[in-house]
A and B are shown apart, each in its own frame.
Chain A
Amino acid sequence: MPTDARQPGLASLLEAALPKVVVAPSFAAMLVFIYGFILWTLYISMTKSTFLPTYDFVGLAQYIKLWRIERWWVACRNLLVYGGLFIFFCTVLGLMLAIFLDQKIRIEGALRTIYLYPLALSFVVTGTAWKWLLNPGLGIERLVREMGWSSFTFDWLVTSEMSIYCVVIAAVWQSTGFVMAMFLAGLRGIDDAIIKAAQVDGAGLTRIYWKIIIPSLRPVFFSAFIILTHIAIKSFDLVVVLTRGGPGYSSDLPATFMYAYAFTRGRLAMGAASAMMMFAMVMAIIVPYLYSELRRKRDA
């Protein structure tokens, strides 16, 4: 008779369950702290909660109210302006720097280090620095006036219509290096033989860049766009430090709006509703992106 080993022993059952046991706490944490909390926020956004959560269901009333609030509209408009300019400048400057850096530059290492260091800084530090540079009395305005242009004014930081552009300036300063790094990696990944073949075909360098290299960076453009959009929607620290959303609420973004309503004005339900709107914006961008990424990996 063969010894019967058809029934797995207790030890080997435990051994087999070990991987699951090990990730179980993380799984539970994820369910509670990410998905559970999102649902909780969703629910609160459908109540009349003010300082404390209440659980009286009022449907979409808060959302309807939210879109009637002038300040929320300002925040969304600012997000469009800020996001648009931020993405545009970061992409254009990042691409330009990457292409230039890719021309066998001697001091490339040093330059790269310089372009990328702002990324190691907190937005709070960046904000502090630019708040000082953009200081209407003592900052760049004073510098230019001292250089002889005595009527020069540069007071965007305290001007309602312009303060959001200050945020753009600081954010572009901080993130351009990052986009540059992405494009540089993309450029280094392009097969040299393609460029050589084009040169043999008699194409000039500018033409090669416009017609061959830049188009082949399309996936990098795509990723950069997604990441920058994501950064823009989540922007919070920079605005708080640089303008505190002001003057008034002229430079509010959804993130600062949410913080103001939920944490300082005690309008929990409205804060939750605005948070859910932000969530929806991010998901609208990210889900298609992740989907296409995962599918591309599976096809590869």
Chain B
Amino acid sequence: MPDAIRRSRSETAGRILIYGTLVLFAVYFLVPLFVMVITSVKNMDEIRTGTLIALPQQPTLEPWLKAWGYATIGVTNEGIRGFFWNSIRMVIPAVLFSTLIGAVNGYVLSKWRFRGSDTFFAMLLLGCFIPFQVVLLPMARTLGFLGLSESIWGLVLVHTVYGLAFTTLFFRNYYVAVPSELVNAARIDGAGFFRIFWKIMLPVSTPIFMVTIIWQTTQIWNDFLFGVCFSTGETQPVTVALNNLVNTSSSVKEYNVDMAAAIIAALPTLFVYFVAGKYFVRGLTAGAVKG
């Protein structure tokens, strides 16, 4: 039956077209990472003489060691190491605080609503969307006033406060779907506010904790705006340090070191993504708004 054959032929062509396009885009998304990795293990001679995608002839870890340990960033010669630890010291408390407070807030806003709680929620929701430029100046003054500018704890405060809107939103939307009858049953069983939270809500919250922690970790680790505005010198997070490294106007540009430093700065979030991608994508759709 020629008709059927023709049809299946055009179908095959369609499948090839679809697979071709999809693979082509996969390559497009992968190429920058690939180029970063191979550039980071080339020496400068190879970089100057070869092309972007040429494989390294004499792979070397020297750029990595330099990026990590002794590249010049700002006024120090100690590589990105210290800034990397800064980021870790900033991310852990900020994520913990914003997640825990967000969980309790979400619990109240979904299960213990009171007059005005919906207004609070609406105001908070709007707070998710503000461009942070509009709070930078007063925040800088406030941190100075609190003696927290130039300190990691200042950034922890900033990230906790502006993360709250999101974490509260996440938890509230999750807890709304937990049946209120469960809370009522526990109230009748004699449990109070905190006991219900600990014994009933927390045990069913693992997924939303995963989503929120991962979301907050990526957001705070990747932040640049607050870092560049509220820290200087030794207290800067890794993203700011990376920018300083990449954008110094020193005489010799060491692209291999830049790439190694960029990969180092990206490793923690990439690790989280590949280990817990499912939760990452969920957070993305839920918190899509932040950008």
Contact = CB atoms under 8 A, between A and B. Distances in A.
B69 interface: no
Interface string B121-138: 011111101111111111
A142 B32 CA distance: 16
Interface stretch (A2-10, A15-23, A62-70, A210-218): A15-23
A100 B22 contact: yes
Contacts of A259: 133, 228-229
A149 interface: no
Contact of B126 (A41, A97, A258, A286): A286
A118 B138 CA distance: 33
Given A23-B108, A129-B262, A132-B258, A33 B247 contact: no
B246 A115 contact: no
A201 B84 CA distance: 60
B240 to A, nearest CB: 8
Contacts of B199: none
Contact of A131 (B104, B168, B246): B246
Interface stretch (B56-64, B88-96, B145-153, B265-273): B265-273
Contacts of B224: 122-124, 236-237, 240
A242 to B, nearest CB: 9
Dominant SS among interface residues on chain B: helix
A53 interface: yes
A105 B25 CA distance: 14
A35 interface: yes
A22 B225 contact: no
Nearest to B133: A275
B18 A118 contact: no
A182 B285 contact: yes
Prevailing SS type, chain A contact patch? helix
Given A181-B284, A234-B291, A133 B131 contact: no
Given A41-B137, A121-B270, A181-B284, A129 B51 contact: no
A115 B29 contact: yes
A26 interface: yes
Contacts of A35: 123, 127
B107 to A, nearest CB: 8
**List of 6 A-B pairs having minimum Cβ-Cβ separation, nearest first:** A231-B291, A122-B222, A19-B112, A120-B273, A237-B224, A275-B133
Interface of A: 15, 18-20, 22-23, 25-27, 29-30, 33-38, 40-41, 44, 53, 93, 96-97, 100-101, 103, 105, 111, 113-133, 135, 138-140, 142-143, 146, 173, 177-178, 181-182, 185, 223, 226-227, 230-231, 233-234, 236-237, 240-241, 244, 254-255, 258-259, 262-263, 268, 271-272, 274-276, 278-279, 282-283, 286-287, 290, 294
Interface of B: 15, 18-19, 21-22, 25-26, 28-33, 35-36, 39, 47-48, 51-53, 101, 104-105, 108-109, 112, 114, 117, 120, 122-127, 129-139, 141, 161-162, 164-165, 168, 192-194, 218, 221-225, 228-229, 239-240, 242-243, 246-247, 255, 258-259, 261-263, 265-266, 269-270, 272-274, 277, 280-281, 284-285, 288-289, 291
27 contacts: A15-B192, A19-B114, A22-B105, A27-B120, A33-B162, A37-B134, A44-B137, A114-B29, A117-B33, A120-B218, A122-B221, A125-B263, A128-B258, A128-B262, A132-B35, A133-B35, A138-B47, A227-B291, A230-B129, A230-B291, A234-B131, A237-B225, A241-B243, A255-B131, A263-B136, A268-B137, A294-B122
